[in-house]
Amino acid sequence: MSSKEFVKYFMILVVLFLVFHIIMWETCTKYLLDEPAKVGDLARLSYSEDLADKQHKDYSIDLPKRHIKSSQYDYNRSIDLITIGDSFSNGRAKAKNRFYQDYIATYSDISVLNIETTYLKRNTPLQTVVYMLNSGLLDEIKPKYLLIESVERFTIQRLAKKKVNMELNISKEVLKKFFKEHPYTLHIPENNMINTGNYKALLYKILYKFRDDAFISRIFKEKLSEKKFSVSDGKQILIIREAIENIRKTNDKTITTLNDNLNTLSRALAKKGITLYYMPAADKFNVYRKYILNDKLPKSTFFEMLREQKRDYVLIDTKKILSKKVDSDELDVYYVDDSHWSYKASDEIFSKIRFK
């Protein structure tokens, strides 16, 4: 091959390379990757731009009362309720009224403090509460209630791996410093027009035609028997793999350990006049499971087993509350492109659960 021919073919390859990336970027990946904070994780990870919930990405907050973030709290006032949890507690849904704590503050007319991170030295929410209890920090804040939240699929590994250690201790000042300096943040890498996501987007479009998890995806794309979302035809749902795989972790032993840990913590808090609330955030898969056409997928018994336990704490049964809402033909109780529930769910839960 002559040098001219080599240059010719090389230029053709370069042009094809650029054309491919331009087409994929403009038709699919630009919206998913260029502004990832505006797109739910499930749409982004599955490259499902057709299910990206664009119309509901309203970032307004129209509730009259707001919660306080731990990074902004000055400890000069007492607090009625403290919340500790994961991305559900830290507004990860990135949409209208994304903090359920604002619904609590508004409907129950109380002050609410959210501890923005529970990952103090990689500890669980239970252990973080123990630190706050033993250090005297709860004595200073003087809450009447404390709410622990954890998404269903990770609850067993967070709260039921072993018996809670009630002897843990850290100084109050260390805790204050940690909470002040570690606000909840989300790190998503930046992308430009030429990126590997363009190849993945094309590959996933092909593979999803053959299997609901595209063989290699973390996201299952399933069909529904009824319209439950306002995006596309409303009869498709995106489910993260962990919500399906972690169902097997629910059994008599783990549920008993979970309940015992919460009871132990609740009794310790009660000595300080604090009522413990536990809110497992029902997995989207669990709430919509009865409408998914794929009968081969498992069914979660997490809430059903937990309801049977003898509890010293207050259980906020999000599956029961939100299943009724979904059954009432309300659309978008959860976001179709995200694992998180929408403001409609927060409103439904805390218009019924009052802290008084």
76: domain CATH number is 3.40.50
Answer yes or no: is 123 within a domain: yes
Does 150 reside within a domain? yes
| Region for residue 82 given its phi and psi (left: phi exceeds 0; alpha: psi -120 to 50; beta: otherwise) | beta
Q: Is residue 121 part of a domain?
A: yes
Count of domains observed in the chain: 1
Q: Is residue 23 part of a domain?
A: no
Query: How many Cβ atoms sit within 10 Å of the Cβ of residue 165?
Result: 11
Query: Can you give the residue range of the structural domain that contains 137?
Result: 68-185+248-283+299-319+342-352
Taking each helix axis from N to C terminus, what angle separates 100-108 and 343-352, rounded to the nearest 10 degrees?
A: 30
Q: Is residue 119 part of a domain?
A: yes
User: For residue range 187-215, what is the model confidence (pLDDT) as tens digits?
Assistant: 666 778 999 999 999 999 999 999 999 99
Per-position pLDDT tens, the chain of length 356 = 688 888 888 898 999 999 999 999 998 888 888 765 578 889 999 999 999 887 656 778 899 999 999 999 999 889 999 999 999 999 988 789 999 999 999 999 999 999 987 666 566 899 999 999 999 999 999 999 999 999 999 999 999 999 999 999 999 999 999 999 888 776 666 778 999 999 999 999 999 999 999 999 999 999 999 999 999 999 999 999 999 999 999 999 999 999 999 999 999 999 999 999 999 999 999 999 999 999 999 999 999 999 999 999 999 999 999 999 999 999 999 999 999 999 999 999 999 999 97
- Please name the residue that has the structure tokens 């604090």: 274
Strands 112-115 and 81-84: parallel
> What are the pLDDT digits (tens) for 20-39?
999 999 988 888 887 655 78
Place of tokens 């704590």: 101
Within-domain flag for 5: no
Asked if the structure places residue 54 within a domain, the reply is: no
Model pTM score: 0.93
Residue 273 lies inside a defined structural domain of this protein = yes
Q: What is the rounded distance in angstroms from the CA atom of residue 204 to the CA atom of residue 222?
A: 14
State the burial class of residue 63 (Cβ atoms within 10 Å of its Cβ: 0-12, 13-18, 19+).
buried
